[in-house]
Amino acid sequence: MGQQPFETILEAHHAEIYRYLRRVTSRAAEADDLSQETFLRAYRAYRALPSDANVRAWLFTIATNLARNHFRSEGRRSRAHAAVTVSRSVLDDGAGPEGETLFNETRARVEAVVERLPLRQRLAFILRKIHDVDYEVIARSLDCSAETARAHVFQALRKIRHSLGEPPQMEIQR
């Protein structure tokens, strides 16, 4: 079985890669630029990609590396913004208008904490908790071990929970 046409890959993954970059940068124009560059680089390297490769993971790795380089080149690594959309499945308590207000307040607090996370923790958190990317892919994207990727996510979650006044919890991922 040969490779699928690149256009099919673009259609299947463009929106998700754009959303990821939008969350990482919090600026639509930067996300557009980085998304286009991601797919341009992917297109150039596509023929060399093994036919059994995980295309989604490969694209996330390219996007993550571009985002890291972007923050480095802009000299904004420490103040780079990340807009994280907290889903209802994470915070929903179904309590009507009071629940909606609580949800909005909690979401704003979580987003503020995520914006202040170190870049590697922020990227690992967004990849794992928002895009459900496995730790091995995160490790390749961040050029670290899977255990270090887990540690980045754990530290991010610990900081978020602390900011919300919740006791630290152990999270076991298998």
List phi, psi (to 5°) of 64. Answer: -65, -45
Other C-beta atoms closer than 10 Å to the C-beta of 2 total 5
137 vs 57: CA distance, rounded Å: 6
CA distances from residue 166 to 28, 90, 98, 106, 160 in whole angstroms, order as listed: 32, 14, 20, 12, 9
pLDDT > 50? residue 156: yes
Q: For the chain, what are the domain ranges?
A: 6-163
- Full-model pTM: 0.69
Q: Note the pLDDT of residue 172.
A: 42
pLDDT > 70? residue 167: no
Encode pLDDT of 8-66 as tens digits: 999 999 999 999 999 888 789 999 999 999 999 999 999 999 989 999 999 999 999 99
pLDDT > 70? residue 157: yes
19 vs 29: CA distance, rounded Å: 12
Between 63-67, 80-84, 87-91, the lowest mean confidence (pLDDT) is in 80-84
What is the chain's length? Answer: 174
Q: Is there a contact between 62 and 68 (Cβ–Cβ < 8 Å)? A: no
Tell which CATH classification among 3.40.1390.20, 1.20.140.160, 3.40.1160.10, 3.40.50.300 matches the domain 6-163: 1.20.140.160
